[in-house]
Structure 1
Amino acid sequence: MEVLRKRMSLRRLPQLFDKILDQSIVSIQTMLSRPILNKDRCASMASRCSKTITQYKFDMMAMTIPIAQDTARDHTQLADDAKNKLRLLDGCLDDHRMQLVESREKEGFPSLKRILYELQSKKIPRKLGIRARRERKVVRSIIKILRQRPDITVRRTDKSKVFYVASLLKKGAINHEQHKNMSPKTDALELAHLHFIPKPHKPDTPLRPIVAAIHAPATEVSKFLNDLLAPVFLRVARKATFINGIDLVRALEKYVTDGQLKPTTLFITFDVENLYTMIPRQGALEALMQFLERHLRNKKIGILRIDDIMRMARLVLDTNIFAYENKYYRQIRGGAMGSAFTQTLANIYMLDWEQKLIQDQEADKEIYGRYIDDVFMTTNSTFDQVKEKLENAHRKDPNIRISYSIQSTIDFLDVTVSNDNGQLKTTIFHKPAAEPYILPYTSDHPRHVYHNIPYAALLRAGRICSNVEDFDIERIRIDLSLLLNEYPPSFVSKHFHRFFQLNQAMPVLERLDSEVYHEIHQNLLHTPTRKEKQLEETTEDLDALPEMLQKKKPWDSNVMYAKYNFESGPRLAFQSEFRTWWKQHFGHAGSSVEHVQLKFAVKTNHTLEDILVHKKPPRHMLKRKPNTTEQRTANQDNPLTRKLKTT
C-alpha cells in the first residue's frame, strides 16, 4: 500500500494500468486529429477527454487504496484477536526606543547587515537552481505564446463624489481620524475597471463580471456601510441564514432529532439568477429604508442616523463607474460585483422577498436557509405542492428569477445531502469539473502553511461526513490529492496521525470504529469555527462603530515584528539567524528589551496569476488627471521647471 502511495506522489502508475487506459482512447485521439473538425471545438473535446481520463485514474486509485487498507485492517484485527487470547491465557520597550550602551549592542546592526548579505549572496542549491531555470523558461514560453494569441484569455477561475463624508464630520457624527479612514487617498485614487472570471464547472463556461474597485472613490464608504449593516442583518436573519456547509449539517441533524425526517422527505434548492446586478436601485433603497426603520434601536447606529446611512448608500450606488475596453460606463441597475456593500444590500432586498417562504416553512417545522443567492429547504409535502409554491415565489418579483431542484439527494454549498429511506446522510460535495488540486508542496511558501493543510482538510471532513465509511473515503481522497501535489508520503502520514491523536480518534484510523467516529463528528460539528466566532463578536454590540472607524489600538511595545520576503534556498535560515542575532546583541539576560517577543511577518513572492493575468486597462484610463490649478502648482514646486523659467 505504501508503494502504491509512493507511486502516486511520483505520478508513476503501474505500466499495465497506463497501457490499458492509453489503448482505450486511441480511437478518440484518431477522430480528434482529423482536419475536418473545428479547431476550437477539437481543443475543447481534447481537454474534456484529458480531464475524464485523469479523473478516472484518480477514482481507480481511490478504489484500490481502501481495498488494500481494509485487507490490512482485517489482518491486523486477526493478529490483535490472537494477542488478546494469549494475554487472557497468560493473565489468568516603554517608548519603543533603546540606547545602545554595550559594545555587543553597538555591533548588532553591522552584524545583521553581514547576515543578510550572506543569506542574499549565498549560492542556491544545485537542484533548486535547475528547477528555477526550468520554471522561468516555462513561464517565459507561456508569456510568448499569450502575446502571439490574442484570442486566449488567462483568468483565475471562480467561483469622485465623496463630499458627504465631510458633512458628517461637520455634524460631529464622525471624528477627524474616522473621516480620514473613510476618505479616498487622492494619490492612490483609481477608477474601477470591469473584468470577467470564467466558471469552468458550469456548462459552456459562463463568465462572472467583477468590478475591481479597490482604489475607487467610494470604496471606503462601501466598506464602512457593509461593516455597519452586515451585523444588523445577521442578527435579524440568523435563523434563515446559512454561514457555511457546517451550519447546514447542524440544522439537518437537529431536524432529524426533532423527528421531522421521513422516508418521503424531499430536499429543495434554488438559485437566484444574477442577484447582485438585477436588483433595482430604487427598490433596493426602499427595502433598505424599511429594514433600518424596523430594526435599528432609536433609529440610529451609534450616532449615525438613518438619513446619514441612506445618503451614503445612494453615494455608493451613484458612483459605480468603471472602465472597460477603452470606454467608460456607469452601472444604473443593481450593485457592483466586487463592492463590499452590494452583498449586504442584496441580502436586505432578498429578506423582504423571502418572508412568505420563511413563515410557511416555520409553520410546517421545516428548514429554510439562504447563503447569499442559494437557498435550501426541506419538505414533507408532495412534489406538485412544492412546485406550485416555488412557481408562486418565482412570479412574486420580476427582478428575482429562480431556478430550482427538488430531490431526495441534493447538493448545496459543499455538502451532498441524502435521504436514504428515512436515514440522513451527509458527505462532502465535489464539483464534477474540480481537479484534485492543493497548494503544491514545491510552492514557495513558509513550512507552517503546509502543516495546516492536511489537518484542516480532515477537520472539514469530520464535521460534514455523517458516517465513518464516507469519512474514510474522503480521507483517502485527501491523501491522494496531497500525494498528487508532491507532498511526501511520510509528511502526509505524520500529519494524518496528528489529527487522529489530537482528537483521540485512533480507533477510527485503525479499524473504522463507528461509535468513536460518531462522538468525534458531534464534537467537531458543534465546535464553532473561527468565522462563526468572529460573526458572533460583531453581532454582540450593534451600537459599536465598524472596525475601520474605531480608534486604533496602541502599539504593543512587548512585541517586535520582523518583516521579510520568504524564499526557498539560503533565505530559509533567516528566522533562525535573526533570532540568534537578536539574543546575542539585544535580547540577552539583563537587557532592557529582554522581555520583547519576536514575531515574523512573511510576504510571499509573486504567483503565476500575478505574472500571466492582466485585467487592468491602461493606467492613463484609471488614474485621476490633475486640473489646471494643480498642474500649475506642481510645476511651480518642481525645481527643474523653476530652473528652465530662470534660464
Structure 2
Amino acid sequence: MREAARELRKEAHVTVRRADKTAAFVLIDTEEYHSKLDLMLGDSSKFEKLSYNPIEEIKREANKTIEKINAATNAVHFQTITGDFSPGYLYGNVKTHKNDNPLRPIISQCPTPTYHLAKSLNSLLTPYVPNVYSVASSTEVLDKLKGSSTSGTIASLDVESPLTNGPVGETIDFILERVYRDPSTPLNISEEALRTLLEVCTKKGPFTTHRGHTYIQKDGVGMGSPLGVLFANFYMGVVEERVFSRIRRPDVYVRYIDDTFVMAPFTQDIETLRRTFEECSCLRFTVEHSKVRRLPFLDVLISSNTSGFDTSVYIKPTNLGLCLNGDSECPTRYKASTIKAYVRRARSHCSSWAATHQELNRVTQVLVMHPSPSKTGRYKIHRKMH
C-alpha cells in the first residue's frame, strides 16, 4: 500500500487530498481539482489577485500599530513581528459526503507574519463573544436537553460556508461595538488600533495558489485562520439577537458555531426561523428535519418521545472506524487515553444502558481491529462499565 501511494504521487494527473470530516484520502483528477479551486478564486467579491508580495508592507503596518499599543499601556502586550515570512497557501479537502464532491477551501496561514498576532487577538477577544445560545461541546448540548419538553418537531439549521461567507467588515464593527460600547467590559486598547490589527489579520493576508499566483481574501475568513471561529461565533451571536427581537425563540435552540439544533411546536415555525435568519444576515441556511423523530446533531443521535429526549453516540456513514494503532511508537498513556475517550463518550452521550452497551461493543471491535492491545482494551472497558 505504501508503494502504491508513492507511485500515485508521481502521477501528474492524480491529486491526493484528505477527505473532509473523515480519516481517509481521496484520489481526484488533478484537472478537476484545479478547476474547482479556480471556480472559488473567480469570486471577485471575496478574492483579489495581487501582482506583488505584500509581506513587508503588512509587517510594517502591523508593527506600527503594535508599537503604539505597547507604548500606551502595560495591560496588553503584543510581540513585534520580526523574521522572514511567506504567504499562506490554498488547498481543498474533498467533501465525499456531498453531491459532486465539492471542496472545503482551507488557507493555511502558519507561514504568514500575522499568524501569531491573530492567535493573540483570538485569546483577547474570546471573552466578548455573545454566547447566550452557543455551546462548546456535545456534552453542553446534552445538558441543555435535560428537562426540556419534547412537545414539538425537531430539526437542525446549517449555515452554508459560514467562515468564507461571513462579512468581515460588518463582523469587525460588531466586535468593536461590543468591546467599546459596553462599559462593563473595558479593553485598554484604542478602537482605531484594534480595528487596524483585525483588518490586517483578515483582509490583507496573502496566500499562494496551485497556479503559483498570489491572492488576498477580501471578505470572509478562510479556514486555517486563528480568527475564523471567533468571527463566525461573533457574527452568529449578533444575528441571533436580531432574529429573536423579531420572532419568538424556539422552545429549544442550541448552536455549535454554525450548526443549530432546534425544537419548535410546528414545522412552519422552523421555516419562519430559517427565513428570518436569512433576512437578518447575508448568509444562507439549510434545514434538516428529523426522521421518525430522530436527528443526528454533532456526534449525538437525538430521539424525542413523550417522556423526554433519548440520546446515543452518532457514527457518520463516512466514519471508517480508524483510531490510533496499538503498535504505533507513541507513549502508552496516549493509547490508554484513546480507550478512555471512547468509553467516556459512550457514558456521557448514551441515555440508556442498552445504547451504552451497544456503543461499547462497537468500540471494542474498533480497538481489536487495530492491533491495539485487545486484552487491555477489553479490561479498561469492562472496568469503566462497572
Q: TM-score under structure 1 normalisation?
A: 0.50
**1:204, 1:364 → 2: CA distance?**
36
Alignment check: 8 A CA contact 1:242 1:248 kept: yes
Hey, what does 2:133 align to over in structure 1?
A: 240
Larger fraction in helix: 1
Q: What is the aligned counterpart of 2:223 among 325, 328, 337?
A: 337
Hey, what does 1:402 align to over in structure 2?
A: 285
**1:330, 1:364 → 2: CA distance?**
38
Q: What is the aligned counterpart of 2:304 among 419, 428, 439?
A: 419
With over 3 angstroms needed to count, the CA separation of the structure-2 counterparts of 1:356 and 1:405, relative to structure 1, is farther
Larger fraction in strand: 2
Alignment check: 8 A CA contact 1:270 1:403 kept: yes
Hey, what does 2:314 align to over in structure 1?
A: 429
**Deviation by residue 1:466-512 (Cα, 9 ceiling, x = unmatched):** 01000000000101111111223312222113323xxxxx2xxxxxx
**Deviation by residue 1:32-71 (Cα, 9 ceiling, x = unmatched):** xxxxxxxxxxxxxxxxxxxxxxxxxxxxxxxxxxxxxxxx
Alignment of 1:105-184 (within 5 A): 138-147=1-10, 149-159=11-21, 160=55, 161-162=58-59, 163-170=61-68, 172-173=71-72, 178-179=77-78, 182-184=79-81
User: How many angstroms does 1:271 deviate by?
Assistant: 0.7
**Deviation by residue 1:235-257 (Cα, 9 ceiling, x = unmatched):** x41x30111111111110132xx
What secondary structure does 2:178 align onto? helix
Count of residues paired in the alignment: 346
What secondary structure does 1:268 align onto? strand
Alignment of 1:39-438 (within 5 A): 138-147=1-10, 149-159=11-21, 160=55, 161-162=58-59, 163-170=61-68, 172-173=71-72, 178-179=77-78, 182-187=79-84, 189-233=85-129, 236-237=130-131, 239-255=132-148, 260-262=149-151, 265-295=152-182, 297=184, 300-301=186-187, 303-324=188-209, 325-358=211-244, 366-380=251-265, 382-397=266-281, 399-407=282-290, 408-438=293-323
Letter aligned with residue 261 of structure 1: T
User: How many angstroms does 1:266 deviate by?
Assistant: 1.4
Alignment check: 8 A CA contact 1:184 1:216 kept: no
Letter aligned with residue 288 of structure 2: S
Hey, what does 1:7 align to over in structure 2?
A: none
Hey, what does 1:42 align to over in structure 2?
A: none
Hey, what does 1:469 align to over in structure 2?
A: 354
With over 3 angstroms needed to count, the CA separation of the structure-2 counterparts of 1:296 and 1:212, relative to structure 1, is farther
Gap regions ≥5 residues in structure 2: 22-54
**Deviation by residue 1:379-420 (Cα, 9 ceiling, x = unmatched):** 12x2223323322323333x2000012322111111111113
**1:461, 1:209 → 2: CA distance?**
32
With over 3 angstroms needed to count, the CA separation of the structure-2 counterparts of 1:185 and 1:314, relative to structure 1, is same
User: How many angstroms does 1:141 deviate by?
Assistant: 4.2
User: How many angstroms does 1:208 deviate by?
Assistant: 0.9
User: How many angstroms does 1:143 deviate by?
Assistant: 1.0
**2:110, 2:284 → 1: CA distance?**
30
Q: TM-score under structure 2 normalisation?
A: 0.82
With over 3 angstroms needed to count, the CA separation of the structure-2 counterparts of 1:327 and 1:383, relative to structure 1, is same
**1:348, 1:285 → 2: CA distance?**
9
Letter aligned with residue 317 of structure 2: P
With over 3 angstroms needed to count, the CA separation of the structure-2 counterparts of 1:205 and 1:442, relative to structure 1, is farther
User: How many angstroms does 1:459 deviate by?
Assistant: 0.6
User: How many angstroms does 1:308 deviate by?
Assistant: 2.1
Identity of aligned residues (%): 22
With over 3 angstroms needed to count, the CA separation of the structure-2 counterparts of 1:480 and 1:170, relative to structure 1, is same
**Deviation by residue 1:436-472 (Cα, 9 ceiling, x = unmatched):** 1111112222222111211211111100100100000
**1:360, 1:247 → 2: CA distance?**
27
With over 3 angstroms needed to count, the CA separation of the structure-2 counterparts of 1:308 and 1:421, relative to structure 1, is same
What secondary structure does 1:254 align onto? coil
Gap regions ≥5 residues in structure 1: 1-137, 501-505, 507-647
**Deviation by residue 1:114-165 (Cα, 9 ceiling, x = unmatched):** xxxxxxxxxxxxxxxxxxxxxxxx5344212320x22322223333313343
Structure with the greater alpha carbon radius of gyration: 1
With over 3 angstroms needed to count, the CA separation of the structure-2 counterparts of 1:492 and 1:167, relative to structure 1, is closer
Deviates further, 242-251 or 440-449? 440-449
**1:310, 1:224 → 2: CA distance?**
14
With over 3 angstroms needed to count, the CA separation of the structure-2 counterparts of 1:439 and 1:359, relative to structure 1, is farther
Alignment check: 8 A CA contact 1:183 1:220 kept: no
Over aligned residues, Cα RMSD in angstroms? 2.4
Letter aligned with residue 295 of structure 2: I
Letter aligned with residue 277 of structure 1: T
Alignment of 1:588-599 (within 5 A): none
With over 3 angstroms needed to count, the CA separation of the structure-2 counterparts of 1:164 and 1:409, relative to structure 1, is same
What secondary structure does 2:146 align onto? helix
